[in-house]
Structures are given as C-alpha cells and as structure tokens.
Amino acid sequence: MKVALIGVGQAGGKVTERLARFDADMGFGAVRGALAVNSAKPDLQSLQVVDTQLIGADRVNGHGVGGDNELGTEIMQSDIQQVLGSLDGRVTSSAEGIFVVAGLGGGTGSGGAPVLVHHLQQVYDVPVYALGVLPGRNEGALYQANAGRSLKTIVREADATLLIDNDAWHEQGESVEGAFETINEKIARRVGLLFASGEAVEGVGESVVDSSEVINTLRSGGIATLGYASEIASDDSAENIRTAMTVSRQALLTGTSLPDATTADSALLVIAGDPEKIPRKGVEKSRRWLEDETGSMQVRGGDFPLESDRLGALVLLGGAERSARIQEFMERAREAKREQEREETDHVEQFSDDRLENLF
Ligand SMILES: Nc1nc2c(ncn2[C@@H]2O[C@H](COP(=O)(O)OP(=O)(O)OP(=O)(O)O)[C@@H](O)[C@H]2O)c(=O)[nH]1
C-alpha cells in the first residue's frame, strides 16, 4: 500500500522517521512522502530523513505546548494552510492512503492530529488514517486524559485509527520511557511490513496479498490493531503447517499492538516468508482459526513473498473498538479527567477554606 506519512508532535515525528527509514532500507518503496509537523523546534531538528514543518511559532516560539492539547488544537487550526501547503507534491497521485501519526497523550500531536485529519479529509480523495500511540498505564493522568479526548475525536475524523498501546510492544521490566526506542523500532517493522504488503513483490501469484486487501480491511472504520509474530521456518513447507498456526495465534494473542483486542468486524492475515516455505494448508487453517477467534465473517488473507529464513504472520483487525481494552482505557481517561477537575477545584477552594484566616 503506497502511503504518505505525516507525523505530528514528538512521538509522531520519531515514528514517522523510523517508518520512512525502514521502508527505504528494505527497498519497499511503499512510503511515498513523509513530513513531520511540530511546535517544538528541537524535536524537528533531531529528525534526519523526513521533511519538517514548524507550527505555532507566533504562540509558543518553537518550545512546544507542554502537554496542553487544547493549545495543540488551536495551533494546528491557525497554521493548517501552511501544513497543507507543505504537503503539496508529497501526497502525490501515487499515494493510496495518508497516515497521520501521533502520540495521543501529549500536546501538539494529541491536539493537532485530529484537526489535521479533518482538513486532509476535505482535500484528498484517498482514505485518511490515523496511527495513534496510547500512553502506557504508568504514564501520568494528564497523558491519559489527553489521549482519551484525542482518541475520541480522531476516531470520529479518520477513516480508521490504528492504535499502538505503549504497554504492548516493549520488553518486560523496561520502563516505558527507556523502551521508546524498542517500541518505535517494532512499530516501524510491523507497520512498515503492512504498508509493503502488495508492494515490491516479485513473481506475483494468486495468493499474494494486494494492497486493496489492507484498504478493505480498514474500511470497517473505528479502531484497528496490528499483530505480528515470526518463527524460523523449515525448508519443507509441509513441516511449516504448525509454524503458520503458531505464528498466527501469537500475532493475535500476544504480539498485538492493543493487547486483548480480539473481537473485530474484519481481519487480514498476511503470511510473510519465502514462497517455497509457505504451507497452503497451514495458511487456510490459520485463516479459519482467525475467523472463529475474531467472530468476523470478513477475514481476508494473502502471502507476502520475502527472502527470509523465518515465517511471519501479520494480523490486521478492523473495527476492534468493542474490545475490553478500549473500554478499560476510556475509563482510565475519564477517571484522569475527573481527577484533574477535582484537583482544579481543590486548588481554588484551598483559598476559600476558612480554617486559615485572611490577614485582613
Ligand atoms: N511509542 C512512543 N511513544 C512516545 C515517544 N515519545 C513520546 N511518546 C508518547 O507520546 C505521548 C507524548 O506525546 P509527545 O509526542 O511527546 O508530545 P507532543 O505531541 O510533542 O506535545 P508537546 O511536547 O506537549 O508539545 C506520551 O504518551 C508518550 O509516552 C516515542 O518515541 N515512542
């Protein structure tokens, strides 16, 4: 799937850069243009391969919005024409979709990404998707509350929102902050493989996945998730039947970007590996298993021929917002918002509390 990427905010920019690099290093050619937009100048200066656009300089002078996502929204609204102008030539006629990438818990990305998606929808005919990063459980209340509001708005505006939970793809024991590098790398590899599905394919066969399958799976709208797992493959494809099943199961159950999200409206199973080693029977079995597990009648599938000694499974779910994980997150975000409001009232009330007398 040929895509144009726009990262908003610090996380958005870093993830976009990783994705663009992975795609270029692998020679896939799926990323057709990449731009990072931010109100913090130093964050943009640290990026090397993507083009950059500073916004809100008149309001925050290149210093970022410090987690104020309402300010992030305002800044994007005021500078939207500049951002759309910078995209001229990047969203070429070859892009089949646009992805707006952002950490939903901060300020610039959280507030700005939904506005950008809204405007892109008016300008471009191709689908506009969001790639949103949810704060981990241990991140503070401000992040949770920001992400709740941002997610609600971006889901309304985007054709689909692919969610990555910051708790999902890091190693046990690693702090979330220390793990950003690991998480970003995994996002780049997994989402990068999804984009490349149907691109740069040699010896196209009937079973090879086409990028329209990705678009059709995302047509369910709402929230999408992506899972991945791989194992060393045997040279004999018959011996890989069990491997195909194992990696498909792991991709959905333990390798997913949004843990515990298994109920979905649609799904796509991509089996990546050396075509000689991909077991047809194993692929069929895995697909039937995925139908049962997701409860979806719309399970698509296809191969992604790759030179590799491993067999990998990518599982994309569309319309996964009914999952318990999303409900749990939204409750966390609402509680964080209530907590913030209580603190604000406490701050005001502590000066009207008459247990301390005024001086005069
Ligand atoms: N996966 C991942 N998440 C990140 C990264 N950097 C920040 N985050 C997450 O993104 C959220 C914060 O968003 P940022 O992108 O840092 O904030 P911003 O949009 O630049 O907004 P301001 O700094 O307030 O202007 C938090 O939930 C972080 O955990 C990163 O490199 N990778």
Report the run of H or E that residue 213 belongs to, with start and end.
Answer: helix 211-218
Distance separating the N- and C-terminal Cα atoms of the chain: 71
Distance CA 140, CA 12 (A): 19
Q: Determine whether the shortest distance from the Cβ of 148 to ligand 1 is under 6 A.
A: no
Compute the distance from residue 9 Cα to the ligand 1 centre, in Å. Answer: 7
46 domain-assigned: yes
How many Cα atoms occupy the beta-carbon half-sphere of 317 within 13 Å?
33
* Distance between Cα 101 and ligand 1 center (Å): 11
Query: Is pLDDT of 81 > 70?
Result: yes
Q: Which domain holds residue 260?
A: 226-318
Residue 352 pLDDT exceeds 80: no
pLDDT digits (tens, 9 = 90+) for 142-189: 999 999 999 999 999 999 999 999 999 877 777 766 689 999 999 999
For residue 138, what is the DSSP state? T
Domain boundary among 318, 336, 353: 318
pLDDT at position 217, please?
A: 97
Residue 204 confidence class, pLDDT cut points 50, 70, 90: low
Residues 31, 154, single domain; the answer is yes
Give the Cα separation of 140 and 282 in Å (integer). 44
Predicted TM-score (pTM) of the model is 0.94
Ligand 1 binding pocket includes 107 (Cβ within 6 Å): yes
Give the residue ranges of DSSP H helices in 50-179. Answer: 57-60, 69-78, 80-87, 108-123, 141-157
**Residue 265 CA to chain centroid, in angstroms?**
18
Minimum mean pLDDT among 37-41, 173-177, 200-204: which range? 200-204
146 assigned to some structural domain: yes
pLDDT per position as a tens digit, 208-239: 899 999 999 999 999 999 999 999 999 988 99
- Rounded Cα distance between 305 and 312, Å, is 11
pLDDT at 171: 75
Residue 347 lies in a domain: no
| Residues making up the binding site for GTP | 10-14, 107-109, 139, 166, 184
Residues 6+ apart with CB under 8 A from 205: 275, 303, 305
31 and 160 inside one domain: yes
The verdict on the CB of residue 150 being under 6 Å from ligand 1 is: no
Q: Supply the mean pLDDT for the chain.
A: 92
Assess whether 174 and 237 both reside in one domain: no
With respect to residue 120, please indicate whether it lies within any of the assigned structural domains: yes
Q: What is the pLDDT of residue 200?
A: 55
242 and 186 share one domain: no
CATH code, domain with 268:
3.30.1330.20
Is residue 301 within a helix (H) or strand (E), and if so which, with residue range?
strand 298-305
In the predicted model, is pLDDT for residue 205 greater than 70?
no
Instruction: Report whether 218 contacts 96 (CB < 8 A).
Output: no
Q: What average pLDDT does range 44-49 have in this prediction? A: 96
The three-class DSSP label of residue 359 is coil
Closest residue by CA, ligand 1 atom 9: 103
Domain-located, residue 348: no
User: Sheet harboring 160-165: ordered strands across?
Assistant: 51-54, 31-38, 3-8, 97-103, 128-134, 160-165, 223-232, 310-318, 266-273, 298-305
* CB of residue 170 inside a 6 A radius of ligand 1: no
Same-domain pairing of 49 and 179: yes
Query: Is any atom of ligand 1 closer than 6 Å to the C-beta of 106?
Result: yes
Tell me how far apart the alpha carbons of residues 144 and 105 are, in angstroms, rounded to a whole number.
6
Binding-site residues from annotation: 10-14, 107-109, 139, 166, 184
Mean pLDDT, range 60-81, rounded to an integer: 97
103 lines ligand 1 (CB under 6 A): yes
Residues 44 and 170 in one domain: yes
Write down the pLDDT at residue 91: 77
Read off the CATH number of the domain in which 27 is found: 3.40.50.1440
Of 177, 196, 215, the position where a domain reaches its end is 196
Instruction: Evaluate if residue 351 carries a pLDDT over 80.
Output: no
Tokens of 20: 């663009």
Question: Does residue 9 lie in a domain region?
Answer: yes
Confidence grade of residue 345 (pLDDT, cut at 50, 70, 90): confident
Ligand 1 pocket check for 256: Cβ under 6 Å? no
Report how many domains make up the chain: 2
Query: Of 178, 184, 193, nearest to 164 (Cα)?
Result: 184
